[in-house]
Amino acid sequence: MSVHLFEELLTAKAIAPMRSEVVPERLTNAEAEHLLLLVRRYYGTPSYDKVWMFNHAEKRFDLDAYLKTCP
């Protein structure tokens, strides 16, 4: 799956249209939709701290706690 965010309208309109392409042999449409839901939920929101912790402070990231709340 590849995702492209078009940032041209971000400053003026506070929106960033998104386009994604899915390789059907790798992901179903339902899986791709779920991934995009998670991207929208965690990036650019107060929940970004979970993404940052996972990427930069892996030892402090509590995977079990996250999985209990994962949508």
Is residue 11 domain-resident?
no
**Does residue 38 have a pLDDT over 80?**
yes
Q: What is the pLDDT of residues 11-22, one digit of tens each?
A: 898 888 889 999
The residue segments making up the domain with residue 29 are 24-71
The total domain count for the chain is 1
Is residue 17 domain-resident?
no
Q: What is the pTM of this model?
A: 0.63
What is the rounded average pLDDT for all residues in the chain?
A: 88
By the 8 A CB rule, do 41 and 69 touch?
Answer: no
Is residue 63 domain-resident?
yes
Using only C-alpha atoms, the chain has a radius of gyration, in whole angstroms, of 14
The C-alpha atoms of residue 21 and residue 24 are separated, in whole angstroms, by: 9
Is residue 1 domain-resident?
no
Of 38, 47, 28, 36, residue with least CA distance to 2: 36
Amino acid, res. 52: W
Is residue 32 domain-resident?
yes
The C-alpha atoms of residue 30 and residue 32 are separated, in whole angstroms, by: 5
Collapsing DSSP to helix, strand or coil, 21 comes out as: strand
Is residue 16 domain-resident?
no
Is residue 33 domain-resident?
yes
Q: What is the pLDDT of residues 43-55, one digit of tens each?
A: 878 888 888 998 9
